[in-house]
Amino acid sequence: MSNASALITVMVNAARKAARDLSRDFGEAQALQVSRKGVADFVSRADHKAEQAIFEALSAARPKYGFVMEERGEVEGADNSNRWIVDPLDGTTNFLHGLPQFAISIALERDRQPYAGVIYNPATDELFWAEKGEGAFMNNRRIRVSARKDLSECLFACGLPFAGRPGRDRALEETNRVLEKTAGVRRFGAAALDLAYVAAGRFDAFWERDLNIWDVAAGAAIVREAGGFVTEIEGGNKFLTAGSILAANPEVYDQAKALING
């Protein structure tokens, strides 16, 4: 990462610090002390350990920055322009089932807009990162969104509501419309990685509803720096707070938006 800035280096170091414990716990998921946050929504000891490691590393490097963290909540900082948006373990259910589709997600929000993002999957050692104006990368390789234009050749990703979550009928209707026109739909269960895969050209588009800011902030920064479009599903620009997101390459974005919205 010789071309990474001091900011990205701080974020990557925090992610790698948290990853050490996650890597040890992964594969021993059934031995984790697991509590229930809600129906089919698990939080494990691993989440809390990873979040604490990230909090300590980022606080030491940028002591004036605030935080929004999945487990800890909002922590105000002296710097009103910058705050960290952290999901210490995106894809917790995958993690607990021994599926290597999970990630640490860290974003820097500057003046309420995604400025930089790091998404790291310790199981695959794939590190996605971007900073505004500097491009997007996977490990040391520059990445770009795909250039596919024909929907029949495009692969979409989505999120589907699980037990106890509203909106399943709408989500299935959207998925059915996409399935009729595209090469397929994938539901992997980690929104941060879905967004990173759009940035890397693995997916041509991704959409999901009922997400939180820590699910999408880092991925949005990376997709945009990779040349993609990121909006609400209906097209608005408040995806950080509105709860819905659509990310796609510029060639297929309008078609994807129209298809999903019916």
The full set of domain ranges for the chain reads: 6-143, 151-261
pLDDT of 6: 97
Alpha carbon of residue 71 to chain centroid: 16
> Residue 215 and residue 211: Cα distance in Å, rounded?
6
Q: Could you tell me the pTM of the whole model? A: 0.94
Residue 108 makes CB contacts below 8 A (sequence gap 6+) with 7, 11, 65, 82, 83, 84, 85, 114, 115, 116, 117, 221
Phi, psi dihedrals of residue 149, rounded to the nearest 5°: -115, -30
| CATH superfamily ID and name for 6-143 | Fructose-1,6-Bisphosphatase, subunit A, domain 1 (3.30.540.10)
pLDDT of 235: 98
Given the candidates 3.40.1280.10, 3.40.190.80, 3.50.50.60, 3.40.50.300, the CATH classification of the domain at 151-261 is 3.40.190.80
pLDDT of 133: 97
Count CB-CB contacts under 10 A for residue 137: 23
Residue 39 makes CB contacts below 8 A (sequence gap 6+) with 163, 164
Scanning the structure block, which residue is given the tokens 């996650």? 22
User: What is the rounded end-to-end Cα distance, in angstroms, of the chain?
Assistant: 43
> Residue 196 and residue 207: Cα distance in Å, rounded?
13
> Residue 95 and residue 41: Cα distance in Å, rounded?
12
Q: Which amino acid is at 257?
A: K
pLDDT of 39: 47
Q: For residues 183 and 148, is the Cβ–Cβ distance under 8 A?
A: no
Which parts of the chain have pLDDT scores under 70?
1-2, 29-43
What token pair was written down for 79? 């710097």
> Residue 101 and residue 106: Cα distance in Å, rounded?
17
Smallest CA-to-CA distance from 60 within 121, 3, 122, 11 is with: 11
pLDDT of 22: 92
Count CB-CB contacts under 10 A for residue 234: 11
